[in-house]
Chains A and B, each alone.
Chain A
């Protein structure tokens, strides 16, 4: 009989039990929050490294030393050059 139903394209399924929404989520809210923080931290760190890697300008004396292999004699903060007097 099952073969005959299959041949005619009639669904041969019976609902054993009506589906119900679970009362509790699989992961707790704290777990989801923690996973969100971890993912955001990882993404932020990756973005910072990417920005650092892709930035073509010098920022620190270590940058200068690494890329130019020349000694850094001084590093001066922005906006003070007109106001320095020995």
Chain B
């Protein structure tokens, strides 16, 4: 008898021990057989990870490093969406990721100890000293994820060149960036940003965004030579109860 066969004989479980192993594993097997309860948060996380893979890690001819996200409705929570995309991206790459926009709330959120008065000083310093490196006025929330204030200055009007200058600075200092733009239906800011960035993601609100309005805005962006990477459909409702949906 060879050693291997002997080894196999030694490892072969007896009937009693195999039954015990089966009994111990049964709850786990039953759990795996049952369809998992649908969880909106985990579903959303899965969707965001899919978005990151499709946008940033696809084998497109033009790699995407800087993305503008713009909603069609002002009520859409773009800050949360951009932050989620940034977090998912930061987990999938060691490169630096910047989430741009939502200032000054982003900075306050990143450092809850900071008082409002300090925040104001921080903001003033941000806007007055344009030569200051972005990382000094940004908040680092994890190893490679940064929250960067947008380029708007309360005093000066926002122009396409100032937006481009700010996005260029972000691009120089961070390898990936997700930029929160104003609603595409309300101003030209999203188009101006989209022209400079690698593309734009439109965020539609289910049951709210009108088809005709979305089509019109998409045509306007395309005529402005903005690359539309895709669409996110947010605020979806699933009217079929979970117990019925699982049986379908």
Interface residues of A (CB under 8 A from B): 56-61, 63-64, 67-68, 70-86
**What are the 6 tightest A-B residue pairs by CB atom distance, in nearest-first order?**
A74-B47, A73-B230, A86-B87, A81-B80, A77-B40, A73-B51
Tell me the chain B residues, 207-248 only, with Cβ under 8 Å from chain A: 207-212, 214-215, 218, 228-238
Q: Contact at A73–B229, with CB atoms within 8 Å?
A: yes
8 contacts between A and B (CB under 8 A): A60-B233, A70-B202, A72-B232, A73-B229, A74-B51, A76-B44, A82-B80, A83-B41
Identify the interface centre among A70, A71, A73: most chain B CB within 10 Å of its CB.
A73
In the complex, chain B residues whose CB is within 8 Å of the CB of A59: 206-207, 236
Partner of B231, one of A72, A85, A86: A72
Query: CB of B204 within 8 A of chain A?
Result: yes
Query: How far is it, in angstroms, between the C-alpha of A61 and the C-alpha of B238 when the chains are bound?
Result: 12
Give the interface size bracket for B toward A. 35 or more
B115-143: CB near A (< 8 Å → 1, else 0) gives 00000000000000000000000000000
Identify the interface centre among A61, A68, A78, A86: most chain B CB within 10 Å of its CB.
A86
B40-66: CB near A (< 8 Å → 1, else 0) gives 110111011111001100000000000
Query: How far is it, in angstroms, between the C-alpha of A61 and the C-alpha of B228 when the chains are bound?
Result: 16
Query: CB of B173 within 8 A of chain A?
Result: no
Identify the interface centre among A74, A79, A83, A84: most chain B CB within 10 Å of its CB.
A74
Please give me the residue from chain B that is nearest to A77 by CB atom: B40
Please give me the residue from chain A that is nearest to B228 by CB atom: A70
Q: Contact at B228–A81, with CB atoms within 8 Å?
A: no
Query: How far is it, in angstroms, between the C-alpha of A58 and the C-alpha of B81 when the chains are bound?
Result: 19
Query: How far is it, in angstroms, between the C-alpha of A83 and the C-alpha of B83 when the chains are bound?
Result: 11
Contact A75/B215 with A81-B84, A83-B41 known, Cβ cut-off 8 Å = no
Q: Contact at A76–B201, with CB atoms within 8 Å?
A: no
Q: Contact at A74–B206, with CB atoms within 8 Å?
A: no
Q: Contact at A84–B215, with CB atoms within 8 Å?
A: no
Query: How far is it, in angstroms, between the C-alpha of A70 and the C-alpha of B212 when the chains are bound?
Result: 14
What is the CB-to-nearest-CB distance from A63 to chain B, in angstroms, rounded to a whole number? 7
Contact A56/B84 with A64-B231, A76-B44, A83-B41 known, Cβ cut-off 8 Å = no
Please give me the residue from chain B that is nearest to A55 by CB atom: B207
Q: Contact at B238–A77, with CB atoms within 8 Å?
A: yes
Q: Contact at B44–A73, with CB atoms within 8 Å?
A: no
Contact A56/B211 with A73-B54, A74-B51, A85-B84 known, Cβ cut-off 8 Å = yes
In the complex, chain B residues whose CB is within 8 Å of the CB of A84: 41, 44-45, 48, 80, 84
Q: Contact at A72–B77, with CB atoms within 8 Å?
A: no
Please give me the residue from chain A that is nearest to B234 by CB atom: A76
What is the CB-to-nearest-CB distance from A10 to chain B, in angstroms, rounded to a whole number? 71
Please give me the residue from chain A that is nearest to B208 by CB atom: A57
Please give me the residue from chain B that is nearest to A74 by CB atom: B47
Contact A57/B206 with A72-B230, A78-B235 known, Cβ cut-off 8 Å = yes
Q: Contact at B232–A74, with CB atoms within 8 Å?
A: yes
Partner of A86, one of B43, B45, B207, B214: B45
Q: Contact at B87–A85, with CB atoms within 8 Å?
A: yes
Q: Contact at A75–B211, with CB atoms within 8 Å?
A: no
What is the CB-to-nearest-CB distance from A48 to chain B, in angstroms, rounded to a whole number? 12
